[in-house]
Structures are given as structure tokens and as C-alpha cells.
Amino acid sequence: MTTQVFPILDKTFVEQLIPQKFPFVMVDKLLLYEEGSVTAGLTIVTDNIFTAEAIFQESGLIEHMAQSVAIYTGYQYFLKNEPAPTGYIGSINGIQIQRLPKLGEDVVTEVTILQEFMGVTLVEMCSTIAGEVIATGKMKTVIAGANE
């Protein structure tokens, strides 16, 4: 296994860390990973399926936040030399969106793991653009088959 240096900007490598595939990939960089937290990013581009009239839509921002959680688990599995598992959103709580990203902006989402047990992960998320908080919330994700 190769030691990764952060940030990881190789989109192909980043895509291997999550189960989603083009055109549903909403993370394009892994900025930081450490035990208990991860920071992922996305540059808003015209051909993103959630970009309409040069604005990244709410559903895309929430999906970006969810994939930022997924990349945490995906990188854990990468470190174990195993494929990224499929996961599902169990619940979303208290999402507050202050503003939507515009074309060309870089969204950075920091995920803090609050609890992780038997394939269920509870996190707190904060998305920013150039240091300005644009969205916050909590999410619970579940790895497929983890409790079977």
C-alpha cells in the first residue's frame, strides 16, 4: 500500500473510494483524512447533473455531504486494501443551507464522526466556500449488510 499525501486531487482515485459512479459523483478531492474526521471537496462545474442555471442545487449539496461521509468509510477500506462498501443514508437531521454554491466555486465539507458502531455512522457535517459556512447538519449512514 502506498502512503497518500493530502490533499488527494486525483479524481479517478477519489472515485474509487465511494460506490457512486459518474454522473452521480459529488466529491472530486479528498483534502484530509484522520481518525474521526474527513474533509472532502467538490468544484461546481456546468456538466454536473445537479447544476442548473449556474447554481448547484440543494439536492446536489446534500448528496455531496453524504458522499463526504462515504469517502471516510471508503478511505478506511482503502487502507485495509478492500473495496469501498455500499452504504445508505439512514437519516438526515437539521440540515441548514445558508446559500447554494455557484458555478466554479469549491465546496469543502468537513465531516466529524460522532459515533460509529456495527456499520452505522453518525456524523456532523459543515460545508464551506472560501471559509464561509454554507450548510450544516447531521446524518446517519448505514453500510449495506453490516448488521446481517
Is 130 within the bounds of a domain?
Answer: yes
Is 129 within the bounds of a domain?
Answer: yes
Is 18 within the bounds of a domain?
Answer: yes
Domain, as residue range, for 42: 11-143
Helices (DSSP H) in the chain: which residue ranges? Answer: 11-16, 58-79
What pLDDT does residue 1 have? 47
What pLDDT does residue 146 have? 61
Closest CA to 89 of 20, 18, 140: 140
Kind plus residue range of the DSSP H or E element containing 120: strand 120-129
What pLDDT does residue 87 have? 85
Q: Is 77 helix (H, G, I), strand (E, B) or coil?
A: helix
What pLDDT does residue 127 have? 98
Is 34 within the bounds of a domain?
Answer: yes
What pLDDT does residue 65 have? 96
Is 61 within the bounds of a domain?
Answer: yes
The count of structural domains within the chain is 1
Closest CA to 77 of 28, 143, 23: 143
Is 1 within the bounds of a domain?
Answer: no
Is 22 within the bounds of a domain?
Answer: yes
What pLDDT does residue 86 have? 86
What pLDDT does residue 147 have? 53
What pLDDT does residue 85 have? 83
What pLDDT does residue 3 have? 58
pLDDT average per 10 residues of sequence, the chain (148 residues):
79 92 94 97 97 97 95 93 86 96 98 94 97 97 74
Q: Indicate which CATH number applies to the domain containing 92.
A: 3.10.129.10
CA distance 18 to 128: 21
Is 3 within the bounds of a domain?
Answer: no
Question: E strands of 4-119, at which residues?
Answer: 29-34, 37-43, 51-52, 55-56, 87-97, 106-117
CB 106 within 8 A of CB 39: no
